[in-house]
Amino acid sequence: MPSAVTQEIVLQGIPVSPGIGIGPVHVVARGFSAPEVYEIREEDVPAEKERFRAALEETKGQLDELQQRLKSISGEQESEIFEAHLMVLEDRAMLDRVAEAIAERRQNAEFAFYAVMQHFLEAMRRVPDPYLRERTTDLEDICQRVLRNFRAEEAPRHIAPDGQHIMVAYDMTPSDTVAINRRHVLGFATEVGSVNSHTAILARSLGLPAIVGLEDAVLDVRTLAPAILDGYSGRLILYPSPETLDRYREIQARKEKVRLDLEAQRDAATATTDGRTITLSSNIEFLDELGMVLNSGAKGVGLYRTEFLLLNGEEMPGELEQADTYTRLAKALAPHPVIIRTLDAGGDKLPVEPLTEPEPNPFLGWRGIRVSLDRPGMFKEQLRGILRASAHGKLAVMFPLVSGIGEIRRAKDYLKECMDELSKEGVPFDERLETGVMIEVPSAAVIADLIAPEVDFFSIGTNDLIQYTVAVDRVNHHVAELYRPTHPAVVRLIKKTVDAANDAGIWTGVCGEMAGDIRLTPLLLGLGVEELSVGPHQVPGVRRAIRALSHAECAAMADEAVRTPLSADIMKSTLSLAQKYYPELLD
């Protein structure tokens, strides 16, 4: 045993589930490695296919058991995560490709399965949307379970401390999270992951404090080291001093009071102190997130991303299958609205038509509305699915990455064609379906006054708007410091967009990361934004921020911000109001 360490060590990660855990660390090391590969004879092919079938059936049984366990803990909505896993195991295209690989490669079944799934996983890893890339963890979870079930011995189990502890791992899959003994595990920290991963969703659902992005934690952290996991700030503190322990126990008590206060405001009107009502809605991508939306008190969905629905398989789901998903959303959230964004992924990632070679710069390439307009059959199938579902609730459609009016008019023409077709077929739909666009390209913001008469609403996608305006890739560490939400050009473009919408009598929302950053809530409200769409877990804090602010005071600050030359000074101004009215949320 190495000698005792007494000096406090602080590791910084990304917070994904709030809360504080105090206890010893348990380190879990794991990985997704290739199985053994060997050649088989032609007469062995049927037996290998049978081995594959048996492994799948064993895995289905395990997932069903986990689903029932989660249902008993958290209810129906969260347990639907494993329905998606079971659907993967029953996907006919996947089953056929594995069977073909066994026969054509003349290799053992487990390696054929591994090769097929890794091909699909690699395609997902190349999707430019970080949210979608994180979904590879779900598929890796399925793959590992299937591969384990090819073997006779039981799946490996990790020896954990008998008492309460903090788990540190390279990654946590959804089934790992569900299988956690909550009486023993105080929270977990991983090297990889994101705030939008299924694992993070489940951690919040189960009330487990969690951190991701803790680089080299598995290598650097020692098992049984005393620690504090801070799910609010993203810190893992090893060997905490007595003073640090006392401080965190005080924080625990204070945060618990704040949580109870926020929970008590769940059904409160989202309005400023001087009476300006702000619509507060959620961003989602999966049906299993509906439970969190409903529990948060959000007034509908301001952004439903359809990329995973459309890309999660060998073939894009058809009109009726899409309509079923959209209908379930509409019914679950009625009478509140659901805004469905049409496909917004790089064209080279479409499973129905991969490009022959990668684009030099996919962020400036064939993506967003450009792909849909170039593939009208695919686009109309999605629009018809949305229209069918609109008969069952309040839906709206939103076009991504528009750069000019021509794209909007072409998209609306296709929507009108779909309406005419469904009318002739006798299919009911909402003839007054609202149509909006995302303002995320600077050219669209500059001509917002010309675009506004063409649509029913604007939704500002701040992530791309900032990147395109200041020419900075926010995940590139060389220039990430230049990615500034309060850059004067960004602030002016948001103001210009809101003013154009007001002049045309339509509303403006924000669905990017700025919407969920409570430091920027005073600025956005002051600029005139009428709707904020955030992650479900961010809703309570943003609601509290809105209810504490005066719109008139925010507007005065924003008027000054538009004339301020430095982004740091604009941040200082908006942060000053945030600290004045809800300091307890910023601790």
Catalytic residues: 198, 511
Q: Measured on CA atoms in the order 141, 17, 542, 257, is the torsion positive or negative?
A: positive
Which residue in 531, 549, 514 sits closest to 281, CA to CA?
531
* Rounded Cα–Cα distance for residues 507 and 515 (Å): 15
The rounded distance, in Å, linking the Cα atoms of 53 and 300 is 42
| Structure tokens given for 132 | 């979608």
> Which residue's entry shows tokens 């993203």?
234
Alpha carbon distance 383, 70 (integer Å): 35
CA distance 159 to 196: 29
Q: Which of 140, 154, 167, 178 is nearest to 63 (CA)?
A: 178
Residues 504 and 455 sit within 8 Å (Cβ to Cβ): no
Contact 543, 578 (CB under 8 A): no
Please work out, in degrees rounded to the nearest 5, the angle formed at the alpha carbon of residue 554 by the alpha carbons of 548 and 556: 150
Q: Token match 């200041």: residue?
A: 470
Beta bridge partners of 271: 277
Asked whether the beta carbons of 130 and 475 are under 8 A apart, the reply is yes
303 forms beta bridges with 283
User: Please, what is the angle between helix 488-504 and helix 567-581, to 10°?
Assistant: 70
Query: Is the distance from CB of 534 to CB of 280 less than 8 angstroms?
Result: yes
- What's the distance, Cα to Cα, between the start and end of the chain in Å? 38
Asked if 454 and 413 count as a contact pair (C-beta separation under 8 A), the reply is: no
Which DSSP symbol is given to 9?
Answer: E
Chain Cα centroid distance, residue 341: 14
Q: At residue 210, what are phi and psi to the nearest 5 degrees? A: -150, 150
**Residue 468 in contact with residue 440, Cβ under 8 Å?**
yes
Looking up tokens 């659901």, which residue turns up? 338
Q: Tell me the three state secondary structure of residue 150.
A: coil
Q: Which of 428, 446, 424 is nearest to 389 (CA)?
A: 428
CA atoms within 13 A on the CB side of 395: 29
Nearest 5°: the CA angle 230, 247, 238 is: 50
- The overall longest dimension of the chain from CA atoms, in Å, is 80
Identity at 210, one-letter amino acid code: A
